[in-house]
Amino acid sequence: MDKSQYQKINDRNAFEYLEIGFLKIICDLFFVIWNLIMVNHRKYIRTPNRAILILVFGLLFINSSQLFAQAENIPIGRDFDQLSWNDFVNRLEKEKSIRFFFEADSIPEFTVHIASDSSTLEEVLQQNLGPLNISAAFDKNGNVFITINKPLQTSFPPNFFDAMDKDIPTIVAPESKADTIQKFLATHKEYVTRTIVVGTKKKGVGKKTATVSGFVKRSEDGLPVIGATLFVEELKTGTSTNVSGYFSLTLKKGKHTLIVSSVDSEEEKYEMELLSDGRLDVSLDKKIYSLKEVVITSEQEDNIRSTQMGYEKLSAKSVKEIPTVMGERDIIKVALLLPGVQSVGEGAAGYNVRGSPADQNVFYMNNIPVYNVSHLMGFFTAFTPEAIDEFTLYKSNIPAKYGGRLSSIFDIKAKEGNKKKFSMRGGISPITGSLMVEGPFAEDKSSYMIAVRSTYSDWILKLIDNYEIQNSKAYFADAVANFSIALNPNNQLKILTYFSYDDISLVSNTRFDYQNQGASVGWEHIINNKHNLDLTFVYAKYAFNEENEELKLAAYKQNYSLNHNEVRANFTLRPNNKHQISVGFNSILYLLDRGNHLPLNDESLTKAVYLGSEQGIETGIYIDEEWTISPLFSVSGGFRYNIYAYLGPQTVYEYGEGLPMEPENIVDTVSYGNNEIIQSYSGPDFRLAAKYIFTPNLSIKASFNQMHQYIFMLSNTIALSPTDKWKLVDSHIKPMKGQQYAFGIFSNFAKGRLEFSAEAYYKRVENLVEYKDGADLLVNEVIETDVLQGDLDAYGIEFMLRKPFGRFNGWINYTYSSSNVLVTGSTPSEMINFGNAYPANYDKPHALNLVMNYKFSRRLSVSSNVVYATGRPVTYPTAIYYQDGVQIIHYSARNEFRLPDYFRIDFSVNLEGNLKKKKAFHGSWNFSVYNLTGRKNAYSVYFKSENGKINGYKLSIFGSPIISLTYNFKLGNYEN
């Protein structure tokens, strides 16, 4: 398009003299000015940057539509006099072909006065709304837009463009009606409706309803938008997209207004004429935030409207500025700043969710379970940061498609490759380097994403004041590759592979390495535009090797591996808009090689011990239904039936009737053949949840969950050790069963800028696996002789206040909780702590987390965390005594005391590279200080007898500020 063309279309507008390309440059500059101008008007246009974008779109829009609207000229007779505003609107909408758009809440109740019979709609509205500071605007399609106090930008500052283009004469257009309308439309893109016809009349003959289905994708990279909502305004009904961005909606045939929105995209509104079943693919523009790059998700609406509770969602982007140890971006570690998530100590590997031990969580990388998520003894997590898109933590209300863990699901979603263009990003932190590349195979259809990370130094170990660790070596790496292939619009293939590796050598001549591998192939099929079928095959393997030369006489090597082979099928059925049903099953075949304990060399006298293998099949069939009884009240229910079989070949010991399971009580040995069922367990899982919305800003939710777990971790250390292994339940060790009741209040206030939630829970676990005092799990052929099963009782209340958006954003949460374990039996050897209840190792009654981000500008932001928690329970000495001249410490009852309280402040500064639009790559620096005050938080307190005296010591992991500088880069500019 050339300049003259513009002039011809509209010679009154100065902007038309500008080339489109030029507009883009202005856009950036203008944004800065707009920031200043709009500071006072943010109430109406939530983000200045968005306003800019709309303006720019608006400019383009003006060029193409020069028709005058007609609605303003509609005559309004006296018969409309004295109607309430709502009646007035309803009647007009009914009688005339016009449609009003306004926020119901924003218009006060008033009565419409009509002065004379010859009034036009425009005059009437101006007379009635003007004094209320409400404006009206009209478009050519008969739409009327009502906004409160919305200052319409009728022109740019008169001399604004002079500086940029001296050649173009400045023409200041006089204020005109047409301009006002066009500008209004321009500045309110979300009100611009586009009519879309779905289906054909022919196909729809004789049917009352039709189904529209399709994908919602992001316009810039063609990736599916998960959880986008589609809302039919007239029917006040809607749906949301699934993990593939797919939706399906059955409606009455006819015209509907469809609003498509998602958290980080611009809202789109469509006038849809539904003639028959058909397809609608929606492309959403990314919402560009100027001041809210740090998006702390958990969709604003979800907080109130979804039935989901005990649910946390973090996007990788939202946590990128949160300070972490060594500047290593670690979204899973950020989970520790969420309510109800604890760890035993700083840098410890396990996560304790709502009072449960660490092995009651499962970590999924897409569909691949990761059995050991720790790198470097637990300081970091084994997920390539560049590959993670977001993660969701389910703490109480776990969807029925997930089974097998009592406490929580950490559902980590890998990034899907960009479907439009090649892109690359990476980072260099003090200990690792990482790189991620992505791009399309076939544009808009198939893409790849490959990310790798590896250490290049293990100097962090030198920082830890423990000579064993200082003199150790460590290496770790991880990689993720994600492929998304669209076979055709109804069939998608998703392939993910995952790998992580750790190699650690300790000064004490111990070397161990472990790795996770996994692959999943998923087929997503859309049936009939309405239903979905997902079929996934998953393979995961965790393997561990240890070489120990501490004692030459008994130098050994030991291995272990766990194979997880799974098939999952899930049907999502949408009989109508009030119901969404998921049915499916999954079946896991576990193959465990408990390993060989072998002499490491010829000198070693170690006896070769084969610890045996284990096989088990865990199958679950489930149905999950969400039923919207009314827009305010909805319930969701899930039922899952678990069947678990422990299979041969195996040698099983039988113990004397009524006797404790101890080696001396073995009365018989039974051998089972291959695939013979040794023991099977089955049990129902329930998932019930209900939500009631009191006001658009307040809802209450309640849920009940019952679950079973058939695999557990062999661990009797306080913190999870990297050498801990998994074990299947068998004929002696019973499956764990957990129940959780939760109740919550959810509220948004301060115009949705603040989100508040309070959730209380009570949890009970039966058959919790604990270990006898002094149990040795390394070379134990008969694990059941060291296992005791007891009960866990946990309860708590979590308060969370979040400010998800704005220059200043973040959250604060406080949790009060309790978690107690009781292991009792008929003989002293079957009890722990003499059969008395004791607090769990991770029981920290008071926990407070504060996360704050402040964005000074698009380039400079600061973040800080403040963490407080009660010290974990600990067993302290109460007396000393002597045996054979050696001083011995006598200890209190288990966990009778507490460590000193934990307190930490972190701080980070994030500095983005320049904001040039055209640049080859964009870099950013992150400077972070972990433990700013250098407080020596106790990891443990222990006692030693030295020269006849008992001395106490406090071990701190990071007893000083840990300062780090990380550089991240990517192709392209700041935005993409």
Partner 1 sequence: MKWKPHIYLIFITILSVLLNSCVEKYWPDLGDKYDQILVVDGLITNQPESYMVSLSYSTPLRGGKKTNVQGCEVLITDDTENTVLLSEINPGQYVTTNPAFQGVVGRKYKLTIHTPEDKTYESGFQELKPPVGLDTVYAKLESKPNPDDDYDLTGYQFYVSSDAAIDDTNYYFWSMEQTYEYNSNYRIRYIFDGKMNPVTFPTPFYTCWKTSTVSEIFTYSTTNLTESVIHDLPLHYVTTETKELSVKYSLLIKQLSLTKEAYNYWYNLQKQVAGQGSLYDKQPYQIQGNMSNIVNPEETVLGYFLVAGSDEKRIFVDKPTDVQFHYSTNCGMVTDDLMRMLYSIRHKWPVFLTILFEGEGSGGVTALPSDPVCVDCREAGGDDEKPDFWED
Q: Which of residues 377-436 bind partner 1 (CB under 8 A)?
A: 377, 430
Collapsing DSSP to helix, strand or coil, 41 comes out as helix
Q: Which residues contact 259 (CB under 8 A, 6 or more apart)?
A: 229, 230, 231, 232, 233, 267, 268, 269, 270
Interatomic CA distance for residues 519 and 368, integer angstroms: 7
Judged by CB under 8 A, the chain residues 33 through 62 that form the site for partner 1 are: 35-36
Angle at 22 between CA 20 and CA 23, to 5 degrees: 65
What part of residues 721-750 is at the interface with partner 1 (CB under 8 A)?
A: 721
954 near partner 1, rule: CB under 8 A: yes
Q: Which amino acid is at 856?
A: F
- Tell me: does residue 877 bind partner 1 (CB under 8 A): yes
Which CB atom, from 716 or from 740, has the smaller least distance to partner 1? 716
Does 601 help bind partner 1 (rule: CB under 8 A)?
no
Q: Which stretch binds partner 1 (CB under 8 A): 2-10, 189-197, 440-448, 936-944?
A: 936-944
How far apart are the C-alpha atoms of 352 and 395, rounded to whole Å?
A: 10
With b for 16 or more beta-carbon neighbours within 10 A and e for fewer, the 428-456 pattern comes to bbbbbebbbbbbbeeeebbbbbbbbbbbe
For the bound state, the minimum distance from the C-beta of residue 917 to partner 1, rounded and expressed in Å, comes to 12
- Please identify, using beta-carbon distances, which residue of 80 and 289 lies nearer to partner 1: 289
Task: Choose, by CB under 8 A, the member of 83, 485, 573, 609 that binds partner 1.
Answer: 609
Q: Among residue numbers 762 through 781, which ones bind partner 1 (CB under 8 A)?
A: 773-774, 779
Choose between 115 and 879: whose C-beta lies nearer to partner 1: 879
First CA to last CA distance, the chain:
27
Region 552-591 residues binding partner 1, contact defined as CB under 8 A: 552-554, 556
For residues 434 and 426, is the Cβ–Cβ distance under 8 A?
Answer: yes
Pairwise CA distance, residues 501 & 371, whole Å: 12
Which of 134/962 has CB closer to partner 1?
962
Q: Cβ distance 439 to 450 under 8 Å?
A: no
164 contacts partner 1 (rule: CB under 8 A): no
271's CB contacts (< 8 A; 6+ apart) are 193, 194, 195, 196, 255, 256, 257, 258
Please list, in sequence order, all residues whose beta carbon lies within 8 angstroms of the beta carbon of residue 511, skipping any fewer than 6 positions away.
503, 504, 505, 546, 547, 548
Does residue 916 belong to the site contacting partner 1 (CB under 8 A)? yes
CA neighbor of 320 nearest in space, from 859, 913, 807, 910 = 910
Q: How far is the CB of 794 from partner 1 (least distance, A)?
A: 19
Q: Which stretch binds partner 1 (CB under 8 A): 29-37, 151-159, 164-172, 407-415?
A: 29-37
* DSSP code of residue 224: B
- Report whether 917 contacts 973 (CB < 8 A): yes
Piece of the chain touching partner 1 by CB under 8 A; list 150-158, 167-175, 273-281, 946-954: 946-954
Give me the least distance between CB of 914 and partner 1, in Å please: 4
User: For partner 1, which stretch binds (CB under 8 A), given 46-54, 127-135, 206-214, 890-898?
Assistant: 890-898
The Cα 393–Cα 704 span in angstroms is: 17
Q: According to the binding rule CB under 8 A, does residue 933 interact with partner 1?
A: no
Which span sits near partner 1 by CB under 8 A: 94-102, 484-492, 523-531, 870-878? Answer: 870-878
How far apart, in whole angstroms, are the C-alpha atoms of residue 669 and residue 769?
Answer: 24
Minimum Å gap between C-beta 287 and partner 1 is 22
Nearer to partner 1, 808 or 953 (CB): 953
State which of positions 822-841 bind partner 1 (CB under 8 A): 828, 833, 841
**Which residues, numbered 617-676, are part of the site for partner 1 (CB under 8 A)?**
none
Candidate ranges 200-208, 360-368, 525-533, 947-955; the one touching partner 1 (CB under 8 A) = 947-955
Only one of the segments 110-118, 475-483, 545-553, 588-596 lies at the binding site for partner 1 (rule: CB under 8 A); that segment is: 545-553
Which one among 103, 174, 884, 918 touches partner 1, defined by CB under 8 A?
A: 884
CB 138 within 8 Å of CB 129: no
Considering only 120-128, 363-371, 617-625, 962-970, which stretch makes contact with partner 1 by CB under 8 A? 962-970
Residue 665: CB minimum distance to partner 1, A: 14
DSSP, residue by residue, 881-904: EEETTEEEEEE-STT-EEPPPEEE
Q: Taking the CB of residue 97, how many other CB atoms lie within 10 A of it?
A: 12
Count of alpha carbons within 13 angstroms of residue 586, beta-carbon side: 21
Q: In whole angstroms, how far apart are CA 470 and each of 324, 346, 506?
A: 21, 17, 9
290 binds partner 1, rule: CB under 8 A: no
Token output for 241: 């997209």
CA angle, 849 then 852 then 857, to 5°: 170
Single residue of 89, 719, 736, 788 touching partner 1 by CB under 8 A: 719
**Binding residues with partner 1: total (CB under 8 A):** 98
Q: Which stretch binds partner 1 (CB under 8 A): 71-79, 149-157, 483-491, 961-969?
A: 961-969
Under the binding rule (CB under 8 A), the answer on residue 528 touching partner 1 is no
Which pair of tokens denotes residue 141?
Answer: 């399609």
Cβ of residue 321: shortest distance to partner 1, in angstroms? 15
Cα three-residue angle 28-30-33, rounded to 5 degrees: 125
Interaction of residue 128 with partner 1, rule CB under 8 A: no
d(CA 134, CA 104): 13
- Say whether residue 890 binds partner 1 (CB under 8 A): yes
Please name every residue paired with 426 in a beta bridge, in sequence order, or none if there are none.
Answer: 435, 969
Question: Taking the CB of residue 182, how many other CB atoms lie within 10 A of it?
Answer: 26
Segment interacting with partner 1 (CB under 8 A) among 15-23, 333-341, 514-522, 889-897: 889-897
> Measured from the CB atom, is 729 or 821 closer to partner 1?
821
Among residues 1, 20, 132, 507, which is the contact residue for partner 1, using CB under 8 A?
Answer: 507
Task: Select 886 or 920, whichever has its Cβ closest to partner 1.
Answer: 886
**Residue 917 interacting with partner 1 (CB under 8 A):** no
Task: State how far Cα 350 lies from the chain centre.
Answer: 19
Q: Which two tokens stand for residue 398?
A: 């776990």
Convert 322-331 to b/e letters by CB count within 10 Å (16 or more is b).
bbbbbbbbbb
> Binder to partner 1 among 60, 442, 551, 629 (CB under 8 A)?
551
Four-residue CA torsion sign, 252, 256, 259, 260: positive
Give the Cα separation of 494 and 223 in Å (integer): 13
Cis bond before residue 735 (omega within 30° of 0): no
Q: Which of 836, 954, 951 is nearest to 893 (CA)?
A: 836
Closest distance to partner 1 from the beta carbon of 664 (Å): 9
Residue selected from 176, 836, 965, 975 as contacting partner 1 according to rule CB under 8 A: 965
Closest distance to partner 1 from the beta carbon of 371 (Å) = 18
Among 125, 959, 968, 970, binds partner 1 (CB under 8 A): 959
Q: Is 888 in the site for partner 1 (CB under 8 A)?
A: yes
Q: Judged by CB under 8 A, which stretch of 49-57, 494-502, 585-593, 954-962 contacts partner 1?
A: 954-962
Candidates 71-79, 110-118, 161-169, 963-971; binding stretch for partner 1 (CB under 8 A)? 963-971
Taking the CA atoms of 19, 25, 26 and 31 in sequence, report the sign of the dihedral they define. Answer: positive
Q: Does 953 bind partner 1 (CB under 8 A)?
A: yes
Q: Tokens for 597?
A: 């304990």
Could you say which residues in the range 460-499 bind partner 1, by CB under 8 A? 463-469, 471
Residues in contact with 966: Cβ distance below 8 Å, sequence separation at least 6, in sequence order: 327, 328, 329, 427, 428, 429, 430, 925, 926, 927, 928
Interface with partner 1, residue 440, by CB under 8 A: no
Q: Is 941 in the site for partner 1 (CB under 8 A)?
A: yes
Q: Which stretch binds partner 1 (CB under 8 A): 99-107, 204-212, 698-706, 948-956?
A: 948-956
Residues 329 to 388 in contact with partner 1, rule: CB under 8 A: 347-348, 377
Using an 8 Å Cβ cutoff, are 586 and 685 in contact? no
Residue 204 within binding range of partner 1, rule CB under 8 A: no
